[in-house]
Structure 1
Amino acid sequence: MLIGEIILVAFDAVVANKLRSLLTMLGIVIGIAAVITMVALGEGAQRSVEARLSTLGANVLTVRPGQSFAGGLGRGQAMLSVEDAEALRQAPQYIRAVSPEMETRVQIEHGTSNANLSVVGAWPSYFTVNNNQIANGRLFTEAEDRGRRRVAVLGALVGAQLGGVTSESLVGQTLRIGGVPFEVIGVLAEKGSQGFSNPDESLYIPLSTAQFRVMGSDRVRSIAVQATGEADMGNAMVEIDQILRREHRLRSGEAADFNIRDQASLLSTVQETTQTFTLLLAGIAAISLLVGGIGIMNIMLVSVTERTREIGLRKALGARPNDILFQFLIESLVLCMAGGGLGLLLGLGGSYALQRLAGWQTAVSPEAVMLAFAFSACVGVFFGLWPARRAASLAPIESLRYE
């Protein structure tokens, strides 16, 4: 038999039993759709983490207060001060920039509108350390920080929280932060949400102004430190540890009352965890593909039994065993590939629905699509081979006698 004729016969056999073929494909459809959706969710999470890494700023370390100890007993939460940050930027070797920070939520007023937003007090170097870009206006200066000037830089979405206006339209106007008037001098470019915080909905004021006019404390929440390069991150951590131990008068071997964290490493850990869960979910979804493959093998065996006389007749008319083998393999491949196509469409639709309705970030990669089709073909070949070989091995005379 000609190859074209074999393929047509295989397609006719699939189409002749539409309902049975559709039910047989159902396992493949569900499996491919589940794999595509799970991989899309994982890929979206990976890209979200990468976006956060790019917005954190390069080579950033964060110093936070730790537990204070005396005589082996905890004395409570330790504190960080501006003096600690000053010490870190005195003749540094592996430190490029330093910015102490403090943050609280304060009632912000503009005209008749008000909102409870996050207010960050920091040095001007904060914007360099955290890779912030100015979109309109300007940033505050060190002179304004020393002079405790009442100036503020807004996140890109602050205006939307204050009466639904644009943040750019507030430049040059006066806001009241905790009842204290501040002049808006600039607006930052949008960065996007970062976990539990959204820098686009925050206001930024000079640190000294925040300490003495808004928050009433001379302590800082954390100190952001930018290393001179990625290769110097370890050296920068050692340098920070040595300087702060000296400032806090900690003896050698005594537990530190501060913590140093690498934000990029933290998010990389989250990224690895997300990837592991993605593979786990995709693996669970792939089980349904195997179940679907077993269903296809079962139906193909039934088909061989039903068409035993047809197989005998074809062999009597000159069909070779390889022709019969190829015909049943084509039928199995058609079922799997058609199921894979329907599953792909269902998976794409599910990914889009999750993104639009649930707000989850999803991304379907071409590699995932190609892998899904390749896996469908492999399932078709693997689970169709035994029924096909069984059909090809039937003896013509016995097949013709079969009732």
Structure 2
Amino acid sequence: MILTQSVKMAWKSIVSNKLRSFLTMLGIIIGVFSVTTLISLGQGLQNNITDEINKLGTNSLIFSITGGRGDKTSLTLDQITAYQTSIPHITTISPVISGAVKVKNGTKIQDVPLEGIVPDYEFVQNSHVRDGRFIVQADLERKQKIAVLGTHTAKELFGLLNPVGENVIINGVQYKVVGLLESKNKGGLMGTDKDADKKILIPITTAERLLMESGIKTFNVQVDNNENVPMVSARLSEDLKKRFASDKNNGFTVLNQQDMLESSGTIMTMLSAGLGGIAGISLLVGGIGIMNIMIVSVTERTREIGIRKAVGARKRNILMQFLVESVLLSASGGIIGVLVGIGASFLLSSLIGFSASVSWSVIVISFSFSLFVGVFFGLLPANKAAKLKPIDALRVN
């Protein structure tokens, strides 16, 4: 009964001063909203990065030749493909030659990144065609002048028309478009993966001649399982050191997708914790606001407290009355903050271009912290009210 009566009295006090109550809750609302939104977006971004890395496979290695000795600064296509038979556990090797080119269709001209690739690129990079076909081995052997366009490039050059079967001019040379890639652009203000749609793929043997590249400096390696990645990396690194190492450096770099996944996870966890901590400061500020208003409320209602004590109310009754009021303010602010935070998370994630991850743990932690703030900062005013002597309280005019 004591708790029920305290809740009714506290709610009546809150409702009778709506504007003041809302302004008191505003700090809690902003704090809970900030914690919910920032942590949800942080977790969503982490999940998005993890998904992108997993699509490429955590058993993938990327080697890039950065130096060399004398004129030995690259590998031939035959040398790279030979690794697949000479080193066990390698399932796929995908060498790439890249450069920037001018692409023309009629009067439309675009500067576009170009990649010379092999057929396995489709699966290594998870890049599949939406229309037409992908590059095949016969295209490499015949050095065919064919191209596969990214959706952004196709739109810029052909508008809404399907480019498959049409011709484009790349650096003054005519190429036939045989395929259109699936879009990787998820939209949003950040233009997620927009660059992945702005490109042209051609056979690697054709690219060597077009870009006047005599060798290959970048290649992806896929291993049959994660356990064999260190061994394959060590074997390839040993061979590349023999070919390109100098007194200054190894002459190459290697990127392990598993290491990328672990590093990104660590960074995003630290970032989410930092953002949550910063947003948590708003909750503390909101708690101070609740404490200030409750102290004012105790001062305004001193005579009421005296009358209640005079008719038999005990110290715990007065303590409960004001503590419940403080908790109700913070709980109401917490509920509003959670709802606004969830809505803002989904709205911002749709604009930015990835899905927010609103978990129950984030909601529970945010709301629980708001309740804790209400109890912690409500104790002082409630205790002050409970300690008032009836005769002193009734003496107040």
TM-score by length of 2: 0.87
Structure 1 residue 274 displacement after superposition? 3.1
Deviations 1:121-146 (A, max 9, x none): 01111122222233332222222202
Structure 1 residue 402 displacement after superposition? 4.0
CA distance in 2, matches of 1:242, 1:233: 14
CA distance in 1, matches of 2:57, 2:112: 23
CA distance in 2, matches of 1:369, 1:77: 58
**Against the structure 1 CA distance between its residues 250 and 46, is the aligned structure 2 distance closer, same or farther, given a 3 Å change threshold?**
closer
Structure 1 residue 276 displacement after superposition? 1.6
- The alignment status of 1:152 with 2:138, answered yes or no, reads no
Alignment of 1:2-401 (within 5 A): 2-68=2-68, 78-165=73-160, 169-192=162-185, 198-212=195-209, 214-246=210-242, 248=243, 255-348=249-342, 350-351=344-345, 354-355=348-349, 359=352, 361=354, 363=356, 365-367=358-360, 368-401=362-395
Q: Given that residues 32 and 283 in structure 2 are in contact (C-alpha distance below 8 angstroms), is that contact kept between their aligned partners in structure 1? A: yes
Q: What is the letter of the counterpart of residue 297 of structure 1?
A: M
**Which ranges of structure 1 fall in alignment gaps of 5 or more residues?**
70-74
**Against the structure 1 CA distance between its residues 276 and 344, is the aligned structure 2 distance closer, same or farther, given a 3 Å change threshold?**
same
CA distance in 2, matches of 1:28, 1:249: 60
Q: Given that residues 29 and 342 in structure 1 are in contact (C-alpha distance below 8 angstroms), is that contact kept between their aligned partners in structure 2? A: yes
Structure 1 residue 13 displacement after superposition? 1.4
CA distance in 1, matches of 2:48, 2:340: 24
Aligned residues with identical type, % of pairs:
36
Structure 1 residue 380 displacement after superposition? 0.7
CA distance in 2, matches of 1:31, 1:299: 17
Deviations 1:327-357 (A, max 9, x none): 2122101211222244345545654664566
CA distance in 2, matches of 1:58, 1:82: 24
Q: For residue 72 of structure 1, what is the aligned residue in structure 2?
A: none
Q: What is the letter of the counterpart of residue 11 of structure 1?
A: W
Structure 1 residue 225 displacement after superposition? 0.8
Structure 1 residue 5 displacement after superposition? 2.9
Count of matched residue pairs: 392
CA distance in 2, matches of 1:249, 1:27: 61
Q: Given that residues 300 and 332 in structure 1 are in contact (C-alpha distance below 8 angstroms), is that contact kept between their aligned partners in structure 2? A: yes
Q: Given that residues 305 and 390 in structure 2 are in contact (C-alpha distance below 8 angstroms), is that contact kept between their aligned partners in structure 1? A: yes
Worse overlay, 227-236 or 42-51: 42-51
Q: Given that residues 58 and 257 in structure 2 are in contact (C-alpha distance below 8 angstroms), is that contact kept between their aligned partners in structure 1? A: no
Worse overlay, 234-243 or 26-35: 26-35
What RMSD in Å do the two structures reach over aligned CA positions?
Answer: 2.9
CA distance in 2, matches of 1:364, 1:31: 19
Q: Given that residues 55 and 191 in structure 1 are in contact (C-alpha distance below 8 angstroms), is that contact kept between their aligned partners in structure 2? A: no
Find the residue that maps to 2:159 and give its secondary structure: coil
**Against the structure 1 CA distance between its residues 318 and 28, is the aligned structure 2 distance closer, same or farther, given a 3 Å change threshold?**
same
Find the residue that maps to 1:89 and give its secondary structure: helix
CA distance in 2, matches of 1:395, 1:308: 10
Structure 1 residue 292 displacement after superposition? 1.6
Worse overlay, 217-226 or 108-117: 108-117
Q: Given that residues 132 and 164 in structure 2 are in contact (C-alpha distance below 8 angstroms), is that contact kept between their aligned partners in structure 1? A: yes
**Which ranges of structure 2 fall in alignment gaps of 5 or more residues?**
none
TM-score by length of 1: 0.86
